[in-house]
Amino acid sequence: MVTQLSRYWWVIALRGVVSILFGIALIVLPEIALPVLVILFGAYALVDGFTNIVAAIGDRKVNDRWWALALEGLMGVGIGVVTFFWPQITAVALLYLIAAWALITGIFEIVAAIQMRKEIKNEWLLVVMGLLSIAFAVLMVLNPAAGALAVITVIGVYAIIFGILLLALAIRLKGDQLDRSEDHTEPVYVQ
C-alpha cells in the first residue's frame, strides 16, 4: 500500500497545495460574500474528490482497500456538485455540509493510518490530519451561530494546516519512493 501511495505522492501534494491556496484566499479576503465561499468550497471539494478518485483508480489492481479512497473522492465530488447546484445555500447549511465532509474525511484518514501503521513511518501525520478534521467538524456543529467572518477564518486556517500536513505526507512518501529505488528492492514508478 505504501508503494502505491508513494507512486501517487504528487496527487497528495496537489491536494495540499489546493488546500493551502483555498485557505489563504479565505483569510486574505475575509469580506467575500457567501456565494463566493460556496463556489470556492465547491471547487475545492471537486478537486479534492477527483484527485482521490484518480489515486484510487490507479491503485485498484494492487490495493484491496482502494475503495475507501474512492468513496472519500466520490463524497468530495458529491458535496462539490451540491454546492454548485444549490448556490442559495444558507450559512448554517454550508457549515453543516463542510462539517460532514470534514468528519467523514477525518474518519477515513484515521482508518488509513491504522491500516498502514506497520507499513509507513510517521503514520501519525494521517492521524493528526484525521483528528484535526474531526475536531474541526465538531467545533462547527457546536457553534453554528458563529459570525460569517469567524467561520471563514476558521475554514481558512483549517485548510492551510490541512494542506501543510498533506504536503508533509507527500514529501515523506516521495522520500520513501526514493529510498526504495536506492535499495533496488522494488521497482520505482516515477510519475
Instruction: Please measure the distance between the N-terminal and C-terminal CA atoms of the chain and give it in whole angstroms.
Output: 17
pLDDT above 80 for 103: yes
Compute the distance between CA of residue 88 and CA of residue 39 in angstroms, rounded to an integer: 11
**Three cell numbers at 127?**
492521524
pTM of the predicted structure, to 2 decimals: 0.50
Q: Please state the domain count of the chain.
A: 1
Neighbours of 13 (CB within 10 A): 20
Q: Is 135 domain-assigned?
A: yes
**Lowest mean pLDDT segment, chosen from 12-21, 73-82, 98-107, 118-127:** 118-127
Residue 89's pLDDT is 65
Q: Is 188 domain-assigned?
A: no
pLDDT in tens, 110-141: 988 888 777 777 778 888 989 998 988 888 78
The residue count of the chain comes to: 191
Q: Is 191 domain-assigned?
A: no
Look up the CATH number of the domain holding residue 83.
Answer: 1.25.40
Count H helices, E strands: the chain? 7, 0
Q: Is 189 domain-assigned?
A: no
pLDDT in tens, 136-171: 888 878 877 655 566 778 888 999 999 999 999 889
CB distance 48 to 18 below 8 Å = yes
Q: Is 64 domain-assigned?
A: yes
Q: Is 84 domain-assigned?
A: yes
Domain that holds residue 96: 2-183
> Residue 33: which pLDDT band, with cuts at 50, 70 and 90?
low
Q: Is 132 domain-assigned?
A: yes
Q: Is 62 domain-assigned?
A: yes
Q: Cα dihedral sign for 75, 68, 62, 112?
A: positive
